[in-house]
Amino acid sequence: MAKNKGIYRVHIDPQLCKGTEGCGICVDLCRAKVLAPAPTLSARGVHPAEIVELKECTGCDLCMLYCPDLAIAVEHIESSHHA
């Protein structure tokens, strides 16, 4: 997938995320290091993924595509990639 600099919004639903202890696929896949384990526990008693460096997001969507719980949504607000 092409890396495009642009403006993206990433949403992680902490109610759906099973936590980085039991999964962590999104954190492992993010080459831009946008995601990290949250320092606090969610209502489910796990450390969900959280956004730590949104400005580094390339919009590759790997976190969203590989999340087994569909807990992540990536919205492409503006892309600087031109055809």
Question: Element (H or E) spanning 77, and its range?
Answer: strand 72-79
Q: Which residues contact 64 (CB under 8 A, 6 or more apart)?
A: 72, 73, 74
Query: Taking the domain 6-77, which CATH number applies?
Result: 3.30.70.20
pTM of the model: 0.84
CA distance 74 to 76: 7
What residue type is assigned to position 33 of the chain? K
pLDDT for 31-80, tens place per residue?
Answer: 999 999 999 999 989 999 999 999 999 999 999 999 999 999 999 997 66
Instruction: Tell me which residue of 66, 64, 62, 11 sits closest to 32, measured CA to CA.
Output: 62
